[in-house]
Structure 1
Amino acid sequence: MKAIVMHERGGAEVLRYETFPTPKPMANEVLVKVHAATVNHTDIFHRLGDFFIQKDLPHILGMDVAGEIVELGAGVTDWQIGDRIVATFEALGRERNGAYAEYTTLPTNQLHRIPDGLSYIAAASIGLAFTTAWIALFYNGALKQGQRVVIHAASSGVGTSAIQIARWQNAQVIAISDPDKAERLYQLGADLVFDRHSPDLVEQVIKTTNGQGATPILDLVGRTTLQSSIRMLANKGQIVCAGTLSGDLAEINIMDLLMKNASIHGSFAVIQPQDFDQILQHFAAGIFQPVIDSVLPLEEASAAHKRIEAKQAFGKIILVPTPEHHG
């Protein structure tokens, strides 16, 4: 099969499009013909060595996949050849070869059926981004109807997912991003979009919430935004940290946090299978929309990584194996 193979860590140029042995499914696994794989920030961290790949190189990245089952491993009874599936899980592309390939093997306990009417590309785009936002807002942010929610890095995959989830919960959605992305953020359901570079960003949020501040605040940026997130918070408010796009170490004024009876909550968990299935159904019903920056042939994985690193992407970049190489 053709795959994007990493023989070393480093820049985007280490992603090589080459021939690689097609994997065989082990017991309780299936072999999946990949129709779509999503490029995530996590892949870049793995490529650079910021996150450690927990297997020997060479390695295939990619933790979001949508495709069809083409072979069953021993003991598989609940799935059949031809079933359309989507999967995203921490080990994929980290502890085992991932989805940047024409074929990949997956354990059956990680499979979800793609509902009728939902394309492979749309299904693949949901994965890590939407589940991260769901976990952050519901499991760790205690999101409720009608709250005032601030979303940093609103044009990212997690950010655009969080906007849709918060809108669905009838929250007031305040998106923080670059001004040139505002129109698309309004289309997704943001009530207000503020320029992340604005010198009076905190004051704008306080003013638009009638002086009360916001909660929860979804902070995906970390080092450069955490202190301003504290200043935007409502009394007894909560910041949910689900990413560190600007760096892991942040300096904060603890007194500001203390005076507001506020909390900072980390968010890293596995989504409940029934929640993932509910999300898929909401996409099939049109309640949520896939936010796709671009669809590229698999061999352009390196260009996809560069586009994300240059902060040019809005939503997800999807890699698609070219049909003539399938088979």
Structure 2
Amino acid sequence: MFLDIGASVNSLTQSDHGLDLHVQLPEIPMVLAGHTATVPAPPAWELSWRSLHVQIKYTKKPPSLGPRLASGWASAVRAGGTPTFLVWLVPASTAPHNGGSVRARIVLPQQWHRWGAGQEATTPTKVPDTMFSAPVDLDDLDGLRRLAHVADLWTRYPVLLSTGGFDPTASMLAGTLPDPNSLEAFSIDVATAAIIAADMRYEPIDRWQRIVTECVSTAYALVFPAMGEQRILDRIGAAHQMVGMFTSPDGRFIGPDPAVAVEEPGPVVIADICASIAAAVGDERRSTTCCSSSVTRRCSASMSVGAPSPDSCHACSPRSSESLCSS
């Protein structure tokens, strides 16, 4: 499964932490499976420095895991460490070599904090079925494409995705779009984190509102373009009302420090994440970001997973593109 998305995979046979695989990801999300003579796989590609830890379970019933181990995984990723995926391989009634199939259900890193945080129990406990993703068919190219983008995001933004109240990668893995209200709140959180990271909290409120506008409009333009400009403007207006709750009488931002962490400009992060969401659910028309540095990577990513041509790559609407890239 991970070889099919262009990763380098090493077995951790002597690991004392139950980590079966060390997966080094490619620089650009890709799917190598399903290529033909007319559409060949790339002869070579660049690996990134980013990696995952993967524990494999092959059982008919949900696997067990020590909550204390899960708590350690949660602490590691929240500190910016390597994310850990638990992959449960569910065998079919017919063995694979007799024509049966194997499907994978995955527990994403944010779940470890919800389940294992603060627990000291070392006795293996059955992992709740609700923590697992919907099954991913290992022969399904769409499923592999979604996995490629989900793994890419988790290794790019581990702290942001593990500490925020919203994890878009869960719906990405299922092939569905996230809830618009959750995506909007997530965009505002990222904008706030970017303000604080840049030590801009005492800047005039209109500057902060502009960054919130860029984050929210970019998210909607890339993930929900059919929403229409007027509704997006209405949602931005609602976001600005929220901004007003965190300002001093002289119009300076004094909002609370958010739980999320962002080192890059907020609009760029939102554009990158939302481009991944769009690409993961299979709509190449929405799979690019607005700034040139990200456009190159995301357009290349779209082409590697089946976009028809470089001509399908485009920027956001002129309004959001100009404001985002000028930031």
TM-score by length of 1: 0.30
Structure number with the bigger relative contact order (C-alpha 8 A, sep ≥ 6) is 1
More strand per residue: 1 or 2? 1
TM-score by length of 2: 0.30
More helix per residue: 1 or 2? 2
